[in-house]
């Protein structure tokens, strides 16, 4: 993280970008900011594109900076949640920019690749970072992606489950390629969001 | 050439490997170097010292030896002004000595005549071409066969290459280029030089025409399909023969010798090679000097030091030193665009800092830039090009962007591929063409921008190399990309709002539809040059065709039919406007329809541009007319513009000049459609 962003990124001016943690139009319509974090190449963008557009593009496109997408989901209890999703780049040089995106977020999805123990280590780094600097009460999900590559699995789901429970997160394994559990992931986040009253900003 | 110092510093080169620098140790450098490349033993490395501490130019023996041995003619260009007269003789000797192979004869070198072309205005040129000169030559065309014609023309005070079959067959060899085969490059040309004497002006002409075919494996692949950015041959390292055969390598390393980027091969496996490069550079630095260039056979090794970073290019493509150095500088700029100059602090803290992880995923950005070095004239012209659009359409686009820059956006940029549709910035600042090139390369090479709206830190190295700006990027349709730059990292939602408004304004004024129309229409075509029928009399065209059929295919370097193309054998042109920092290039049309022919022309323009701007060897030129086995090249530079035009190798000089005037007139007529006017503070 030697390559720092220029100074303004750190001065914590929370205007513009963070106007909305959970903005409730009413108790039935939520608009929330969600951020995806994780090592590069674990499939963050693929999860988002599968969720937002129902597409999977096997060619690897390295995210630059961060992409912004939004998607509205109707939950079973007839609330609608509009997710405003920051899909961040996993490269090390963008790590110092992450606070820009997770500040004020009411949900965070930390992704790792089940075939890569290193990416699981990186996921734990992000969890700690969010616990330290994220919004209080942020809904966190730990996601093991590439579940379709079961034969090359290197991270046991029991370990991840145990880690998630000890950190107050929920855990799910997804496959962006096969669309397995992707919608479930976001619906589950929607269920866990606090209702009725806006969350407190830090 | 390689010297940044003011004094003449010349290359202490000769083909026996003598390095004219007494206190240094040439054997040491040779020893280091021989590990890197397998080379002909007769071609030892040499290097150019940085400063003019010592004057090497007196080493007449070295010059003589080199030339008598038929040394590569390029090296002559290295020498300073002091011994230019000696070189002049040497060059002619070398050319004559090589003539059994290359058959390049140079006759009647009267550069003073060409000197009189200097600074001629269009009117003068018109007058000149309408004098007896043209008629005389055309008359002779009817009477003589091609070989006679060359002599006839050269007796009318022009230096010409004598083309014949042996030369073109020599070119066709597919093996690795050897020093001897490159002698075919001793081409005829005529140069006018504003400041230099008649004898020096001929020296720079030697460089052109040695264009061996291009980048080997890579370019052959490219001919088959669309080029895809990304690293090639990533499994290779310096022990692979195939790695050594790549024609153009680029390396970035730290001053501790850690690899940062390599065009080919795996950086980690190249650690030993990087250390060797670092050893060469620090060896010279230890003596208080800076290494710029090593020549070894067909290879040039160019070094650039930027803070704690070393950039190295190893090339056998025969591009001029200035061009390759410019490419290294752009490569450094691209690195700064991604990381800013702040990255240098990491090296202050820890000299063994490993920068590789910080550049993760950027191979495509660098490889796409290096690809542009061979295809995009913007890389050497220091200018950008615009998408041709009706004036009102571009005005509407500028208007839509202008509204936003009043609301806090620093630069607003609408682009279509590498071409600018509209660009609006603060009144006092303009976007440097290099920043624009690097930014558009960064955005175009990263596919993720195409999938969704993005917000990314970027640094514009010429604008401010120490800080990030933030770029909002959104493709409005398949080709059209809107880029909004701001200094505030929290500005995303504001920029998103701006984008929505701009998009509405652009759709209302039909800009996007006009953009699509323009894409399908394409750019300027040489066939469309106005009044082209009047330029060359029908008999002129037919006589040219007669000649080529009479001499057989051997006179033509291309397999295509000579005589195709525009007026007077015009094949291609590039026009650069000095005030606007913009250029326009004609579309490639037959006979330039193969990638290799296009690349050969591109390289020839690169050399021509370098020699036009060369301030050391022979002074900057105002006008040049060159003929080699592939093209006739004409370039013309004045305070308003630079024009580079390529013609059929059999084109008449006088009609070529005439056509160039028509081009300039044509450009002026369509200026408001092909250029973005009023974009820079220089324009009023």
Span B60-85, pLDDT tens digits: 333 333 333 333 333 333 333 333 33
For residue A29, what pLDDT band results from cuts at 50, 70 and 90?
Answer: confident
Helix, strand, coil proportions of chain B in percent (round to 5)?
45, 15, 40
Tell whether B492 is within 8 A of chain A (Cβ). yes
Residues of chain B with pLDDT below 50 are 1-224, 532-563, 679-684
ipTM: 0.86
User: Which of A2, A18, A68 minimises the CB distance to B455?
Assistant: A68
pLDDT, chain A, mean: 85
Q: What is the pLDDT of residue B617?
A: 65
Phi and psi dihedrals of A24, rounded to 5?
-100, 115
Q: What is the pLDDT of residue B225?
A: 57
pLDDT per residue over B655-665, tens digit each?
A: 888 889 999 99
Q: What is the pLDDT of residue B30?
A: 37
Lowest average pLDDT, out of A24-38, A85-99, A165-179, B159-173, goes to B159-173
Tell whether B504 is within 8 A of chain A (Cβ). no
Q: What is the pLDDT of residue A25?
A: 57
Q: What is the pLDDT of residue B190?
A: 36
Site from A31, A35, A64 to mutate, B interface, most B CB atoms within 10 angstroms: A64
Residue B666 tokens, joined: 């044509």
Nearest chain A CA: its distance from B407 CA (Å): 14
Contact state of B455 with A15 under an 8 Å Cβ cutoff: no
User: Which of B342, B453, B494 minimises the CB distance to A16?
Assistant: B494
Which B residues in the span 409-448 are in contact with A, Cβ-Cβ below 8 Å? 442, 446-448
Phi and psi dihedrals of B497, rounded to 5?
-65, -45
User: Which of B342, B349, B457 minimises the CB distance to A97?
Assistant: B457
Domain range list for chain B: 5-56+63-130+527-674, 143-376, 391-521
CATH for A29-192, options being 3.40.50.300, 3.40.50.2300, 3.40.50.410, 3.40.50.12780: 3.40.50.300
Contact state of B345 with A40 under an 8 Å Cβ cutoff: no
What is the pLDDT averaged over residues A104-115? 94
Residue A77 tokens, joined: 């209890």
**Contacts of B528 by beta carbon, 8 Å cutoff, 6+ apart:** none
Q: What is the pLDDT of residue B565?
A: 66
Reported as half-sphere exposure (CB side, CA atoms, 13 A), residue B11 has a value of 27
User: Which of A6, A63, A64 minimises the CB distance to B468?
Assistant: A6
Q: A123 pLDDT exceeds 90? A: yes
Contacts of B493 in chain A (CB under 8 A): 16-17, 19
Q: B436-447 as b/e, with b when 16 or more CB fall inside 10 Å?
A: bbbbbbbbbbbb
Tell whether B352 is within 8 A of chain A (Cβ). no
Contacts of B453 in chain A (CB under 8 A): 67-69
Nearest chain B CA: its distance from A165 CA (Å): 32
Nearest chain A CA: its distance from B138 CA (Å): 59
pTM of the predicted protein model: 0.71
Question: Which residue is closest to B450 within chain A, CA to CA?
Answer: A61
CATH topology for B143-376 is Beta-Lactamase (3.30.450)
Q: What is the pLDDT of residue B425?
A: 84
Contact A119, A42 (CB under 8 A): yes
Which A residues in the span 28-47 are in contact with B, Cβ-Cβ below 8 Å? 40, 45
Contacts of B466 in chain A (CB under 8 A): 6
Count of beta carbons in the 10 Å neighbourhood of residue B62: 24
User: Which of A4, A5, A40 minimises the CB distance to B361?
Assistant: A40
Site from B231, B449, B456, B489 to mutate, A interface, most A CB atoms within 10 angstroms: B489
User: Which of A2, A15, A68 minimises the CB distance to B358?
Assistant: A2
Q: What is the pLDDT of residue A26?
A: 65
CATH for B391-521, options being 3.30.1360.120, 3.30.450.30, 3.30.450.40, 1.10.287.3240: 3.30.450.30
């Amino acid at each position: 993280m030697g390559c720092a962003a220029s100074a303004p990124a750190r001065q914590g001016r929370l205007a513009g970008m963070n106007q909305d943690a959970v903005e409730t139009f009413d108790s039935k319509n939520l608009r929330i900011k969600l951020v995806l974090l994780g090592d590069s190449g674990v499939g963050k963008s693929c999860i988002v594109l599968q969720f937002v557009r129902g597409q999977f593009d096997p060619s690897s496109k390295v995210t630059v900076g961060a992409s912004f997408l939004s998607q509205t989901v109707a939950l079973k209890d007839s609330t609608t949640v509009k997710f405003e999703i920051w899909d961040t780049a996993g490269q090390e040089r963008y790590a110092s920019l992450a606070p820009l995106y997770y500040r004020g977020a009411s949900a965070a999805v930390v992704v790792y690749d089940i075939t890569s123990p290193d990416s699981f280590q990186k996921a734990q780094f992000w969890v700690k970072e969010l616990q330290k600097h994220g919004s209080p009460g942020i809904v966190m999900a730990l996601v093991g992606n590439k579940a379709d590559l079961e034969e090359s699995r290197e991270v046991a789901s029991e370990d991840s489950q145990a880690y998630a429970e000890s950190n107050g997160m929920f855990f799910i394994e997804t496959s962006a390629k096969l669309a397995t559990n992707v919608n479930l992931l976001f619906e589950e986040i929607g269920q866990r969001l606090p209702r009725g009253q806006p969350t407190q900003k830090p | 050439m390689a010297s940044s110092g003011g004094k003449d510093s010349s290359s202490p080169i000769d083909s026996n490997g003598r390095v004219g620098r007494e206190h240094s140790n040439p054997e040491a450098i040779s020893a280091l170097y021989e590990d890197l490349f397998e080379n002909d033993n007769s071609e030892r490395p040499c290097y150019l010292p940085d400063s003019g501490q010592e004057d090497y130019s007196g080493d007449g023996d070295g010059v003589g030896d080199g030339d008598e041995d038929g040394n590569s003619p390029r090296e002559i260009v290295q020498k300073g002004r002091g011994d230019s007269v000696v070189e002049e003789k040497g060059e002619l000797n070398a050319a004559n000595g090589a003539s059994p192979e290359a058959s390049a004869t140079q006759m009647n070198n009267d550069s003073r005549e060409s000197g009189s072309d200097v600074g001629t205005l269009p009117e003068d040129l018109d007058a000149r071409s309408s004098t007896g000169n043209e008629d005389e030559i055309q008359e002779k065309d009817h009477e003589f066969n091609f070989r006679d014609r060359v002599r006839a023309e050269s007796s009318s005070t022009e230096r010409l290459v004598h083309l014949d079959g042996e030369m073109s067959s020599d070119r066709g060899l597919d093996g690795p280029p050897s020093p001897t085969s490159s002698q075919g490059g001793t081409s005829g040309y005529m140069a006018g030089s504003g400041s230099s004497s008649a004898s020096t002006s001929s020296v720079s002409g030697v460089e052109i025409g040695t264009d061996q075919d291009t980048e080997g494996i890579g370019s052959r692949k490219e001919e088959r399909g669309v080029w895809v950015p990304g690293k090639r041959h990533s499994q290779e390292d310096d022990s692979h023969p195939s790695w050594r055969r790549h024609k153009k390598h680029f390396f970035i390393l730290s001053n501790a010798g850690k690899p940062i980027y390599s065009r080919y091969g795996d950086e980690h496996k190249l650690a030993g090679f990087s250390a060797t490069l670092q050893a060469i550079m620090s060896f010279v630095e230890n003596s208080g000097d800076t290494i710029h260039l090593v020549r070894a056979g067909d290879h040039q090794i160019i070094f650039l030091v930027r803070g704690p970073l070393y950039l190295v290019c190893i090339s056998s493509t025969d591009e001029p030193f200035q061009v390759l150095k410019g490419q290294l500088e752009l490569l450094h700029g691209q690195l700064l665009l991604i990381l800013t100059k702040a990255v240098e602090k990491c090296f202050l803290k820890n000299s063994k800092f490993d920068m590789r992880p910080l550049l993760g995923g950027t191979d495509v950005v660098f490889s796409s830039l290096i690809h542009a070095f061979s295809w995009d004239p913007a890389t050497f012209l220091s200018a950008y090009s615009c998408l041709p659009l009706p004036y009102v359409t571009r005005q509407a686009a500028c208007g839509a962007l202008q509204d936003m820059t009043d609301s806090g956006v620093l630069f607003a940029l609408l682009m279509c591929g590498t071409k600018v549709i509209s660009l609006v910035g603060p009144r006092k600042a303009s976007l440097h063409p290099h920043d624009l090139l690097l930014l558009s390369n960064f955005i175009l090479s990263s596919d993720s921008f195409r999938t969704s709206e993005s917000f990314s830190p970027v640094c514009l190295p010429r604008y401010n190399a120490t800080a990030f700006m933030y770029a909002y990027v959104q493709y409005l349709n398949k080709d059209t990309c809107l880029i909004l730059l701001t200094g505030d990292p929290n500005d995303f939602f504001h920029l998103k709002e701006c984008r929505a408004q701009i998009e509405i304004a652009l759709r209302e004024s039909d800009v996007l539809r006009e953009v699509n129309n323009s894409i399908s229409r394409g750019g300027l075509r040489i066939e469309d040059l106005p009044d082209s029928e009047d330029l060359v009399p029908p008999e002129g065209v037919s006589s040219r065709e007669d000649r080529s059929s009479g001499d057989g295919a051997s006179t033509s370097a291309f397999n295509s039919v000579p005589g195709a193309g525009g007026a007077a054998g015009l094949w291609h042109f590039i026009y650069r406007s000095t005030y606007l920092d913009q250029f326009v290039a004609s579309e490639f049309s037959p006979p330039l329809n193969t990638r290799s022919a296009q690349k050969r022309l591109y390289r020839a323009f690169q050399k021509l541009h370098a020699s036009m701007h060369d301030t050391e060897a022979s002074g900057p030129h105002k006008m040049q007319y060159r003929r080699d086995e592939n093209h006739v090249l004409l370039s013309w530079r004045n305070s308003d513009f630079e024009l580079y035009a390529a013609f059929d190798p059999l084109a008449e000089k006088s009609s070529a000049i005439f056509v160039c005037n028509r081009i300039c007139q044509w450009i002026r007529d369509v200026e408001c459609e092909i250029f973005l006017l009023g974009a820079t503070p220089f324009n009023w």
